[in-house]
Amino acid sequence: MIDSSDEAMILAHGGDCYEQFLGSVAPPVFMSSLFTCNSLDEYHFGAPGKHIYSRYTNPDVSVLEQKVAELENGRFCLAYANGMAAASAAILSKAKAGGHIVCVHNAYGCIHEFLEVYLQPVMQMTYTYVHGYDTQEILQALQDNTCLIILESPGSDTFTLVDLQAVTAEAKKRGIPTYIDNTYCTPLYQKPLSLGIDIVMHTATKYMGGHSDVLGGLLVTNDEETYNRLKQLRHLFGGISAPMEAWLILRGLRTMKVRLDEHQKIATEIANELEKDPRVRKVYYPGLESFPQKQLRDKQQSGSSGLMSFEINGTVEQARAVVERLKVFSLGPSWGGFESLVMMPLYFKSEEYAEWYGASRGLIRIHCGLEGVKPLLEDLRQALSVLDEGESA
């Protein structure tokens, strides 16, 4: 495993090719749909470093892919237009008509939707949702026709962990490929390939971009056959990242370590303060000392980022009142940028769904941005004070 000083080096210089670009430190943005060739042979067979058509490869996209492959300690990387383009490409590359998929219950919501509205009705696939924190439940869900295990650790909104080594060891024995969404940790805080995962997905829209100004997705794998299949499908589905987007993600990556360490520092302080607040019933944050899967966390993660959830001592409507009173935390989807955000991921779900998910409908998810601890804490406290008013009224 590479140490963090190497990671800083990769973030700064991985994929660099100054000499190719007239010494330019930042690669130019190659806004060209095609690249002309010297011969028909070159056009047909290609040549090392030769680009032909930007739906296949593009210089900016290649620099990005090189950097992220190095960061994940992986052999191959492919960049996509957004996280879901990468996720659906990976899943389709392993999907089989009539096959079965095991998926963690707190995978990113659109993954469930993809299984339910596309793979099941169109490809006659079946799926089993499992609580990823229970390895036995995952293994018991495997069937003879299981063609993929979809993992996310920490999972969305409740941040439960999957024992990646335990699951991948058994999956390998049975020849079942494994996929993980590693967006929460980024390659800096978790390296799933080294824990046996076959395909790692990143939503570059979050910390890699880091400035809430770009969408992107990435897949990393060590398996050449998987890579070739993914590459072929990317030609056919057309999900590749555009050059300007790849350039923006590259720019974000250069500062990801300083940003991520700061997000973690701020989030850890906020989580500790929330945990002490009597108006807060429960905090969901993998970085807490009291985190239930602390041992597993320390085994497979080297950090936790800026996203967490909490529940108040109060009703769902009171939770909503707290959320709508926040000022520094803006109400909105997504996360991973410089700014603080809040939302209620389960508010519009049923009570039964929320219970199955492992939280209440009043779950409040916050992303701690880079504004600093003080304004964020003050904002949370003034919003939570709506609960004190309720009491005295």
Ligand X SMILES: *Cc1c(COP(=O)(O)O)cnc(C)c1O
The residues that touch ligand X, with contacts defined as CB under 6 A, are 82-84, 108, 156, 181, 183, 203, 205-206, 215, 217, 334
> What is the DSSP annotation of 100-129?
EEEEETTS-HHHHHHIIIIIHHHH--EEEE
Shortest spacing between CB 46 and ligand X, in angstroms: 29
Nearest to ligand X of 107, 193 (CB atom): 107
Nearest to ligand X of 83, 303 (CB atom): 83
User: In 320-341, which positions are buried (b, 16+ CB within 10 angstroms) versus exposed (e)?
Assistant: ebbbeebebbeeeeebbbebbb
Shortest spacing between CB 262 and ligand X, in angstroms: 19
Nearest to ligand X of 142, 248 (CB atom): 248
Shortest spacing between CB 107 and ligand X, in angstroms: 8
Nearest to ligand X of 204, 387 (CB atom): 204
Shortest spacing between CB 17 and ligand X, in angstroms: 27
Strands 76-80 and 100-104, by their bridges, are unpaired
Nearest to ligand X of 191, 206 (CB atom): 206
Shortest spacing between CB 304 and ligand X, in angstroms: 14
Number of residues that this document lists for the chain? 393
Shortest spacing between CB 298 and ligand X, in angstroms: 22
* 308 vs 302: CA distance, rounded Å: 17
Beta-bridged to residue 199, according to DSSP, are 179, 221
- The CA distances from residue 42 to 24, 34, 50, 54, 236, in Å, are 27, 14, 8, 16, 21
Question: Which residue's CB comes closest to ligand X?
Answer: 83
Query: Closest Cα partner for 222 from 76, 78, 89, 94?
Result: 76
Structure tokens at 151: 């993992």
Nearest to ligand X of 227, 335 (CB atom): 335
